Amino acid sequence: MIGGLFIYNHKGEVLISRVYRDDIGRNAVDAFRVNVIHARQQVRSPVTNIARTSFFHVKRSNIWLAAVTKQNVNAAMVFEFLYKMCDVMAAYFGKISEENIKNNFVLIYELLDEILDFGYPQNSETGALKTFITQQGIKSQHQTKEEQSQITSQVTGQIGWRREGIKYRRNELFLDVLESVNLLMSPQGQVLSAHVSGRVVMKSYLSGMPECKFGMNDKIVIEKQGKGTADETSKSGKQSIAIDDCTFHQCVRLSKFDSERSISFIPPDGEFELMRYRTTKDIILPFRVIPLVREVGRTKLEVKVVIKSNFKPSLLAQKIEVRIPTPLNTSGVQVICMKGKAKYKASENAIVWKIKRMAGMKESQISAEIELLPTNDKKKWARPPISMNFEVRQRRGLEQCVLGKTLEILPVNLCTYHLADDETETPERSDFNSQTHFFPCRLPPRN
């Protein structure tokens, strides 16, 4: 199990050091600094073994978090724990920075005492932790006995992520669907591989212990229903999608999903990631990006990028951002674009082209002349891919989205969702937002 946990700043100074097991000594703190943070050769693996001691590290901005052990621990668990630790810290004091860590070191020690006991991770849901680890340590004295036992039963209870007795005047629920279309395209325009990985992020502000149900037009579900009421499926006429795999927040009852494919849960309060999914079949590419790169002599590059929206004209993509990487030795850029605004950002080595909105089946293009400084090819340009970002926002009243009413989301794939609460009041408003990142292609090779 985890023998100790250290937090360092970018210089390798220890900010937090908590040791859980006897086999980890103070020298472990130094070993990591010397062999990883100050290592002459950049350490490339996130797991390092130094003198039979294993170090797991993750970096957040310039802060190093390192977990240490001498045993054969579950490595995946250690990393999951480190991420969780970052989430919890961020939930308490915002950005993980040296300043914030120093300012909150007492709190961090308190947290570490609670969420890691003898090196075994314990309940680390922020919602639960915040009930009894507060930044005002004195609070506990004013708690009544009932309050105390409520806290403890929540921390250990079945639903460790939500406390009882939450009340909202307005019950609201927001749903964001964030998708990234990962597409690998050869310079010749051939799709090498494509998959959509999506996240459903929910912001719930609901009272009590609401029992929620979430559905999707998953092929397996629809086929199952189709057996019973064939006409119903044909009536809705919705395409079903084949989801390759999905994973759920721990509040979702997995065994129920396994047997019935239904997603039922009692949500944590506030924002959380309900599920992730991945599909590879029948991916509709929302945009086509066609790059043309021409080299004019040694010091000039002409780039032309055409984007074509490939969805129904009735839909509107917003906040489109196309990022066209430029060589490292770029000295100046002239851009002309038909729509939106484009700017060369020297610090990011890219031309950023922003378009406010664009309807379906439209086309737009940008052309740029890139001036290059003559260089002695020491550092070759890695030719990163062009990437694109946009969102489709749909705001609907609740009456439209309850039970079976389908929503069309760009470009995929989740079409239905229902909200069924059993006893609690129905949510009054829900907000639907789909965001898609889109990595279209490698730049054609330069000659």
Partner 1 sequence: MTDSKYFTTTKKGEIFELKAELNSDKKEKKKEAVKKVIASMTVGKDVSALFPDVVNCMQTDNLELKKLVYLYLMNYAKSQPDMAIMAVNTFVKDCEDPNPLIRALAVRTMGCIRVDKITEYLCEPLRKCLKDEDPYVRKTAAVCVAKLHDINAQLVEDQGFLDTLKDLISDSNPMIAESHPSSNLLDLNPQSINKLLTALNECTEWGQIFILDCLANYTPKDDREAQSICERVTPRLSHANSAVVLSAVKVLMKFMEMLSKDLDYYGTLLKKLAPPLVTLLSAEPELQYVALRNINLIVQKRPEVLKHEMKVFFVKYNDPIYLEKLDIMIRLASQANIAQVLAELKEYATEVDVDFVRKAVRAIGRCAIKVEQSAERCVSTLLDLIQTKVNYVVQEAIVVIKDIFRKYPNKYESVIATLCENLDSLDEPEARAAMIWIVGEYAERIDNADELLESFLEGFHDESAQVQLQLLTAIVKLFLKKPTETQELVQQDSDNPDLRDRGYIYWRLLSTDPVAAKEVVLAEKPLISEETDLIEPTLLDELICCIGTLASVYHKPPSAFVEGGRGVVHKSLPPRTASSESTESPETAPAGAPPGEQLDTVPTQGDLLGDLLNLDLGPPVSGPPLATSAVQMGAVDLLGGGLDSLIGAPSFVAPPAAAVPANLGAPMGSGLSDLFDLTSGVGTLSGSYVAPKAVWLPAMKAKGLEISGTFTRQAGSISMDLQLTNKALQVMTDFAIQFNRNSFGLAPAAPLQVHAPLSPTQTVEISLPLSTAGTTWGPPCFQVAVKNNIDVFYFSTLYPLHILFVEDGKMDRQMFLATWKDIPNENEAQFQIRDCPLNAGRAPEPCACPCCPVPCPQP
Residues 239-298 that bind partner 1 (CB under 8 A): 244-250, 253-255, 257-258, 273, 275-276, 278
Provide the minimum distance between the beta carbon of 229 and partner 1 in the complex, in angstroms, as a whole number. 27
Q: Are 223 and 244 in contact (CB under 8 A)?
A: no
- Contact between 29 and partner 1 by CB under 8 A: the answer reads yes
CB of 13 or CB of 425, closer to partner 1: 13
Write out the binding residues for partner 1, residues 42-101 only, by CB under 8 A: 44-47, 49, 52, 54, 56, 58, 69-77, 79-83, 99
Write out the binding residues for partner 1, residues 323-362 only, by CB under 8 A: none
Spatial separation of the C-alpha atoms in residues 61 and 75, rounded to whole Å: 22
Strands (DSSP E) contained in 328-385 are 330-337, 341-345, 350-359, 363-372
CB of 90 or CB of 246, closer to partner 1: 246
Residue 12: partners with Cβ closer than 8 Å, 6 or more residues away: 33, 37, 38, 64
Provide the minimum distance between the beta carbon of 194 and partner 1 in the complex, in angstroms, as a whole number. 9
Please select the residue that binds partner 1; options are 35, 60, 130, 157, rule is CB under 8 A: 157
CB of 237 or CB of 445, closer to partner 1: 445
Half-sphere exposure of 360 (CA within 13 A, CB side): 13
Residue 128 has which token pair?
């639960």
Provide the minimum distance between the beta carbon of 256 and partner 1 in the complex, in angstroms, as a whole number. 8
Cβ count near 297 (within 10 Å): 7
CA 359 to centroid of chain Cα atoms: 27
CB of 99 or CB of 425, closer to partner 1: 99
Write out the binding residues for partner 1, residues 97-156 only, by CB under 8 A: 99, 102-106, 109-110, 113, 117-118, 120-125, 132, 137-138, 140-141, 143, 145, 148-149, 151-153, 155-156
Write out the binding residues for partner 1, residues 209-228 only, by CB under 8 A: none
Closest CA relative to residue 235, chosen from 411, 406, 408: 406
Provide the minimum distance between the beta carbon of 258 and partner 1 in the complex, in angstroms, as a whole number. 4
CB of 186 or CB of 334, closer to partner 1: 186
Q: Is 326 exposed, middle or buried (0-12, 13-18, 19+ CB in 10 A)?
A: buried
Helices 75-93 and 105-115, axial angle in degrees (round to 10): 140
Please select the residue that binds partner 1; options are 233, 352, 363, 381, rule is CB under 8 A: 381
Residue count, binding to partner 1 (CB under 8 A): 102
Closest CA relative to residue 328, chosen from 377, 289, 280, 287: 377
CB of 151 or CB of 290, closer to partner 1: 151
Residue 224: partners with Cβ closer than 8 Å, 6 or more residues away: 261
CB of 72 or CB of 347, closer to partner 1: 72
CB of 170 or CB of 380, closer to partner 1: 380
